Amino acid sequence: MRYLHTMVRVRDLDESLDFYCNKLGLKETRRHENKEGRFTLVYLSAPDDDGPELELTYNWDPEDYGSARNFGHIAYEVDDIYAVCERLESMGVTINRPPRDGHMAFIRSPDQISIELLQRGEPLPPKEPWASKPNIGTW
């Protein structure tokens, strides 16, 4: 058995691709449009990872998916959690759970999917302004 992908439904494909590719740094690996079924599938992966993918499912007809809290979260390991959070914040992404411990942070996608960012290896030493930042909203 091999883990292949995680699927999340998205309301706005362009907004989601901007978030996952331009802000989070994933790359599009393939795309499938099904005119009869009225949906588009876009597969994304981390730049240095040929492993499991994230499948964005865009249904052409509007649907309300709710807050997506029942999904849980997607997790990515990063080389420098402070640098990643700083870059995301500079692009307007809310850091819902800042990396106060130098190890873990949470953000949310435009469709409210929780994304956990984990420091590769040992936690980094606590660092300002992250050590003092409060949680914002839910994750």
Q: Give the angle 43-72-32 at the CA atoms, nearest 5°.
A: 15
Beta-bridge partner residues of 27: 45
Looking at residue 8, which CATH number applies to its domain?
Answer: 3.10.180.10
Tell whether 18 and 52 lie within a shared domain: yes
Residue 69 has pLDDT above 80, yes or no: no
Q: Which residue is catalytic, options 28, 55, 86, 116?
A: 116
Tell whether 76 and 104 lie within a shared domain: yes
The domain tally of the chain equals: 2
Parent domain of 104: 69-139
DSSP-H helix ranges across 1-139: 13-17, 81-90
Tell whether 96 and 137 lie within a shared domain: yes
What Rg value do the Cα atoms of the chain yield, rounded?
16
Tell whether 44 and 74 lie within a shared domain: no
- Per-residue pLDDT reduced to its tens digit, 33-66: 999 999 999 999 999 888 899 999 999 998 887 7
Tell whether 73 and 57 lie within a shared domain: no
Which token pair is 34? 């099904």
Residue 70's pLDDT is: 59
pTM of this prediction?
Answer: 0.84
Tell whether 28 and 85 lie within a shared domain: no
68 — pLDDT class (breaks 50, 70, 90)? low
Tell me if residue 116 is catalytic: yes
Straight-line distance from the first to the last Cα atom of the chain, in angstroms, rounded to the nearest whole number: 30
* Sequence-separated (6 or more) residues with CB below 8 Å from residue 80: 119, 124
Residue 139's pLDDT is: 83
- Per-residue pLDDT reduced to its tens digit, 72-120: 789 999 999 999 999 999 999 999 999 999 999 999 999 889 999 999 9
Which token pair is 106? 């949470």
